[in-house]
Structure 1
């Protein structure tokens, strides 16, 4: 396998300003391939812009729970809901072009990449919409999934869950990246790596979050990037989307 630097994006949630800032920052650090780990759509005010940017990056896009709901809504519009999620997706549905919808219909619920030796999926290595959000959850996932590298999103919180065999049994440890940071994958470890959310962080840091994984160095590095939060908030309000979707961006929750 030739060494590559993977740009890992997740939970962009139609936040064009955040994605533009991330692409600018990541381009200065160099990357070879791009993977979007799901939920490019949902919540935000710029769904078409985000899909255009991902096309421009030639990103491999994984199906997230919001895309899954969007496709169901397109197929059965009578089943829409008044929830915040439903309101945003209903509005976005009318913004998307036929090409946009066709592209999203082609996104897969997880990919195993033999070149990288990794599984890419939205929620956990074994689920579209469950969460890798605690040591307890990670321990159960490691029991049911035997791969070495798993890349996921969904929690909107960057972090790593790692497991190593120990004399007392399998040992699981968590590391978070609220301010960014790097993690060297140990040779004997199995890990689940989350780059955090580009468009709606939920760890108390409003800065956009993304990661680069260097396959030669086995290094996972998370970066936090400032973007024009006020611009996205104004776009959310102009679209008539729920105010809470704008307010939460300022506090990273």
Structure 2
């Protein structure tokens, strides 16, 4: 297995302002490959800009629940509702080109990467839209999935869940990263790692969140990055998106 440094992004949610701040920060840390763990779209004012950046980065992208919903609207398989999620996605769809939508259509619901020995999926290693958000949820995922290294998003909260190679019920631990931090993956453990959300953190810290994973050292490091939240809020309001989507950015909820 060759060594690689992965730049792990998730839940950008069409917030190009936060994405650019993250990429500026990540530049100085060196990485070989960008992995996006779902929900590039939804909520925010910059759907085209975010897809353009991911394309330029040659990112490996997995499908998130918001990305999937947008595809359902595009194909006429889902009726638009009077909800914040639906309003944002239908507006975004009007901003995207056929080429953009065709690219999102190519994203898969989960990818196994043999070079890293990892699974990339949005919700849990075995689900697009379930959450790995508690010890019981992680225990269930570890029971259903026998892999050693899983990368997920969806919760908008950076965290590491680990279990020993023993009966899963014995020992599952969680470590959160509200202000960033690092986690060493021990050879004897299986882990589910979440880099948090670039565009809409929900752990009370409004700073954008991302991670780098060094496959040689088994080292996972989460970084929190300040960005121009007011600018992102102004763009959301100018787009006519619901005010709550702009307001929540400032409080990290």
Instruction: Give the structure 2 partner of residue 208 of structure 1.
Output: 208
Stretches of 4+ moved more than 2 A in 1?
165-170
- Matching residue of 2:186: 186
- In structure 2, the partner of 1:117 is 117
- SS in structure 2 at match of 1:18: helix
The answer for the alignment partner of 1:161 in structure 2 is 161
Please tell me whether residue 63 in structure 1 is matched to residue 63 in structure 2.
Answer: yes
With normalisation by structure 1, the TM-score equals 0.98
Q: Is the 8 A contact 2:72 2:78 kept in 1?
A: no
Q: Does structure 2 conserve the Cα–Cα contact (< 8 Å) formed by 1:125 and 1:141?
A: yes
TM-score, L = length of structure 2: 0.98
Match of residue 84 from structure 1: 84
RMSD: 1.2
**Do 2:143 and 2:168's aligned partners in 1 also have CA atoms closer than 8 Å?**
no
1:220 aligns with 2:220: yes
Structure 1 residues 169 and 110, CA, compared in 2 at 3 Å: closer, same or farther?
A: closer
Question: How many Å apart are 1:168 and its aligned residue?
Answer: 9.6
The aligned counterpart of 2:106 is 106
* Matched residues, number: 253
Q: Distance in 2 between matches of 1:97 and 1:24?
A: 27
Query: How far, CA to CA, are the matches of 1:155 and 1:6 in structure 2?
Result: 20
Contact preservation (8 Å) 2:142, 2:168? no
- Asked if the contact 1:165–1:171 (Cα under 8 Å) also holds between the matched residues in 2, the reply is no
User: What per-residue deviation string (whole Å, max 9, x for no partner) do you get for residues 61-93 of structure 1?
Assistant: 100000100000011176111110000001000
Unaligned runs of 5+ in 1: none
Where in structure 2 are the equivalents of 1:1-253 lying within 5 Å?
A: 1-76=1-76, 79-165=79-165, 170-253=170-253
SS at match of 1:29: coil
